[in-house]
Amino acid sequence: MTKVLVTPRSFGKYNREEIIELFAEKGIEIEFNPFGQIMTEEQMMECLEDKDGLIVGVDPVNEKVLSKAKKLKAIAKYGVGLDNIDLACVNKKQIKVSKTVSANSNAVADYSFALLMSVARRVVEINNEAKDGNWEKTVALDVYGKKIGVVGLGAIGRGVVRRAQGFEMEVYGYDIYRDDDYLRENQIHFADIDTIIKECDFISIHMPLTEETKHLFNRENLRYAKENLIIINTARGGIVDEDALYDLLKAGKIYGAGVDVFEEEPAQDSKLLDLENVVIGSHTAASTIGATEMMSMMASRNIIADLGGQVKNG
């Protein structure tokens, strides 16, 4: 029997019976993550030995893990970021790879803007103080009409642009691929990273983590930021140099940050957790009922199709 390992803990949380039935119809046996956490290399190696397919979240799929996955034919990413998968090794082994494109884009765009508002208006701080009986007024930053830089203009970035337009913000944008029609239709100033850092009051990051984007925001360029800059990162932790961000936030050179992703996760040892001007997420931007259902079904259909089951997304 064909076997598939599923590692994301939220996979099928709201439509599990439907998904199990879908796999059963195709004669595929699925094994859910038995560890209740992001799996380690050793756990992945153990569980993948007899598997034909893998539905994976952020668990490691490197050369060491793949060396034990002798039967593996297909990987379905539960999400869109492939930085935890050794693509060179996967390609060499001719393992098919898919991802759940656009399944969670609105959920992540919502959360990005929620973080932006929370940091700018100091929502967490005001909440905590008010619950402790402190009703003194806390002065915060304006959002309406300000400048925002959206770094990465894929489905999620464009979702953030739409939300920013509702606040009549002046939008600066950057992407590896320049779509002049989109930029013109949405009145977006296309700009490089340095210009966005210097000009914008808010920056929202939506790029994949690659060799080119690692530490795209670093000590060298962030020192030119406005003191009222707020950085939002719901993409990947490695895109921002966390040590540089921490130092600048602590020194008051940057106003605040909303951080849902870290260079090391879980982020128990990150210095950013100690700062009051940072609102922290647990890599949870995509965690809504609708997005979870859609990603679970799309990943299921992808893996079944790549294993020869002829199921298409729809």
Query: Could you read off the pLDDT of 226-265 as tens digits, one per residue?
Result: 999 999 999 999 999 999 999 999 999 999 999 999 999 8
- pLDDT at position 311 is 53
Mean pLDDT rounded to a whole number for the chain: 96
- pLDDT at position 55 is 98
Indicate if the pLDDT at residue 312 is higher than 60. Answer: no
Task: Give yes or no: 170 in active site.
Answer: no
- pLDDT at position 309 is 79
Catalytic residue among 158, 236, 242, 301: 236
Element (H, E) at 304: helix 289-306
Task: Give yes or no: 162 in active site.
Answer: no
Query: What is the average per-residue pLDDT within 181-205?
Result: 98
Q: Are 197 and 105 in contact (CB under 8 A)?
A: no
Catalytic residue among 163, 206, 283, 301: 283
Q: What is the pLDDT of residues 95-134, one digit of tens each?
A: 999 999 999 999 999 999 999 999 999 999 999 999 999 9
Tell me how far CA of residue 272 lies from CA of 144, 211, 265, 286, 305, in angstroms.
Answer: 27, 23, 13, 21, 42
Helix then strand count (H, E) for the chain reads 12, 12
Q: How confident is the model at residue 313 (pLDDT cuts 50, 70, 90)?
A: very low
- Share above pLDDT 90 across residues of the chain, in percent, rounded to a whole number: 96
Query: Whole-model pTM above 0.85?
Result: yes
Find out whether the peptide bond into 266 is cis, omega within 30 degrees of 0. Answer: yes
- pLDDT at position 310 is 60
Question: In sequence order, which ranges of 29-169 are alpha helices (DSSP H)?
Answer: 41-48, 63-66, 87-92, 105-120, 123-131, 155-166
Mean pLDDT lowest among 5-14, 89-98, 196-205, 305-314: 305-314
Task: Give yes or no: 236 in active site.
Answer: yes
Domain locations in the chain as residue ranges = 2-101+289-306, 105-280
Catalytic residue among 125, 170, 263, 265: 265
Same topology between domain 2-101+289-306 and domain 105-280: yes
Residue 244, both tokens: 């540089």
- Share above pLDDT 70 across residues of the chain, in percent, rounded to a whole number: 98
Indicate if the pLDDT at residue 314 is higher than 70. Answer: no
Architecture of 105-280 per CATH? 3-Layer(aba) Sandwich (3.40)
- At 59, which amino acid appears? D
- The CATH number of the domain covering residues in 2-101+289-306: 3.40.50.720
